[in-house]
Amino acid sequence: MQSKWVLSIAALLVLLLSCPNPLSAKEDNKSSISITYSIKSGDTLYSIAKKYYLTGDYERVARLNGWVPKASLKAGAVLKLKNPLILDHYTVNAGDTLFAITNRYFNRSQYKNALMEYNGISDPNTGLKIGMALIVPIPSGEQRHVVHAGDTLYSLSAKYFKSIDYQQAIARYNEIQETPGAIKAGQVLRIPNPFYVVLEDSPGKEVTIASALPSKPFSIEIDITKNKLYVRSGGKLAKSFDIASGKRKGQTPTGSFEIITKIKNPWYTAKDIPGGDPKNPLGSRWLGLNVPNTQGRTYGIHGTNAPASIGTNASAGCIRMLNKDVEWLYNTVPTGTIVKIHA
């Protein structure tokens, strides 16, 4: 009898442990914000990734959206863009104001739709249930709201949507003042996605297409004469690092490039040394540059297994950094960041 009781308890424990956590499942299924895009003649996945996700890594953008990276695009077809960093590029017309542009993109109806999609609500009439815990996306992050009797999607949008918050987000992202006359006809404004959330690349692995939606964009300057790398945020110096550059004059390419690939523990294919191996000369991180005809795989900013070489001309053309420094850079700047290299 006692053995049967023990077996019953054991079976119950196995059953409980094998059941998924309902709260975790709810978080895993949380929706992001999507927009539709009509393909135009001449569009490529690369150009769409650059325009809406600020990255040249179109293959990752394709995977995150469920597209085939090598598929050809047909003009007129409609793509659904999952959680883009940029909602639109708006050309200012005569008489436009920031307030008017804000309400064009963040009016009550569209905010209601965002609230529905973010919480996986399909029917605006029956989707709200008393006691339901909603996630409310706002420019500063998220708020939680427990649905009470009488709540509607419209009343919630009125409660949480503040036009001034979204106006400030547009102004801050485009680095303009919130004053009359701050925008001019013909000026192109990027409309940021204030509902930006983390995307999932594969089960159990979260990535972002860009490391964040920066209010002030990053840029990098590399002086190979001094072997220094400077990181700027919004035009102001944020950090500087010692580097190593090409052994010979002209070996490190000069000009303006952008980071289009980011790889943890890169494989050193020249000598078939796996990532993470202490003998790997690329160190712990790789940030590939779009030097013409290289696809971000030939020239880049990377770590090193020879820390004593930093500060000298020692590389085959790439920019070397200490592993701890390149890891900071990898975690801080997104793909799409401009890198200017000069002698």
Of 89, 145, 148, 318, catalytic? 318
CA distance 46 to 55: 8
Kindly give, in sequence order, each residue whose CB lies less than 8 Å from that of residue 233, ignoring residues fewer than 6 positions away. 214, 216, 217, 218
Confirm if 195 and 118 have CB atoms less than 8 A apart. yes
How far, in Å, are 28, 37, 238, 275 from residue 205 at the CA level? 11, 27, 29, 19
Confirm if 310 and 264 have CB atoms less than 8 A apart. no
Confirm if 341 and 245 have CB atoms less than 8 A apart. no
Kindly give, in sequence order, each residue whose CB lies less than 8 Å from that of residue 83, ignoring residues fewer than 6 positions away. 32, 33, 34, 193, 195, 196, 197, 199
Closest of 110, 126, 107 to residue 118, by C-alpha:
110
Q: What is the DSSP string of 251-274?
A: -S--EEEEEEEEEES--BTTTTBP
Dihedral of CA 16/18/19/25: which sign?
A: positive
| Helix, strand, coil fractions of the chain, as percent rounded to 5 | 25, 25, 45
Of 89, 145, 148, 302, catalytic? 302
Q: Which residues is 36 bridged to in the sheet?
A: 80
Q: Which two tokens stand for residue 236?
A: 């102001």
Kindly give, in sequence order, each residue whose CB lies less than 8 Å from that of residue 243, ignoring residues fewer than 6 positions away. 222, 227, 228, 229, 301, 310, 311, 319, 320, 321
Q: Annotated catalytic, 19? A: no
Question: What single DSSP character describes residue 287?
Answer: E
CA distance 33 to 301: 33
Question: Among all residues, which ones are annotated catalytic?
Answer: 302, 318
